[in-house]
Structure 1
């Protein structure tokens, strides 16, 4: 992870003296007044980023959650960081930039972080993009890093877990893992393009997928783009003309 400024590093060491730097969690602050609250606490979502293709989805999601006032807790794997650098252009392709969009940032190696316990209350978790390795680890309960551990906690606490699975084609092993996770109450969400929105750019398709992800997190928040044609509203025969019978 990126090194911290001296004040931030001192804050770290005071709060987690037993864990050697840089494996302890990094903390970034945001104004409390900008956050949405539910039952007396901010609405919290864990956002995990793994090495599968789809870094623009993660960046756009964090942007939208920030705009909506959601407290975000980011975990980014080593390969998630590498994919971010490869798929995006500077200056938006650095781990530091992605971390700047989140409320709090954690090392994937810090399995002692607060996210490892069900006593730390959240409104759910999304893994975006979700590699097949991570998906398999969650299915097996193999909590070898903070991403998989946080997902396991989300499942056992009966909270919403959304897995933005990125792979094609899918083997029977992939499908069996997805089936078992669905039975365990996770939502498997392949970011499939929706052409009914008549997208003008790749970003249009990313925005529509991110809107659906936020729907699935059940935050009951409405943003401006919900009114900008991202949702299906039936055929507009007045524009297209009815098909011949």
Structure 2
């Protein structure tokens, strides 16, 4: 596939924008979750609004990260970007000598990282592959489509989490025994989503730097001002 360097630049910047937005939504969502739980009096004016906002922002994070990892051939995503670099770098280099030198071994590693593999295959990353599987399962069966089976899996997981939380907070129990989580988790937690964002951002910025594409600054976390002012009881 022949793609002009300028067109590639527009695509890779759009991916970086999605990652920045996903990071922003993730940060706001969990700051609100932790705030509502640790200092409920701060959010007493509209607790339902803040919890709904947190849930909505987390779902947006999942959707944007899903777009970045999408394997569809027409998607503007990291797999697509790496294929474009592989196919077009030689031509770009001929016409733009100022661009950097492509590390083909690194490109192959990045392509392998974004390709679904099976246990036992060379360069299989069980953690990243597993997170991507849950990511798309969550998008497809809990956000874009609400699946009955997934609903009850998640309900069971929440019951276990609540029970373990109560056990943890029982000061009289010196040797707490926690219930095991269900084997199939259908939601990503904050650290899981952060890992997916960080992995994607590292790859995205590598090829932006290669083509001397400016990496924009992070969104300012000015929402902290809003929370501090608007939610003061």
Give the number of the structure whose residues are more often helix, by fraction: 2
More strand by share: 1
Q: Which structure: larger Rg?
A: 2
Using structure 1 for the length normalisation, give the TM-score.
Answer: 0.24
The TM-score normalised by the length of structure 2 is 0.25
Q: Point out which structure has higher relative CO (alpha carbons under 8 A, 6+ apart).
A: 2
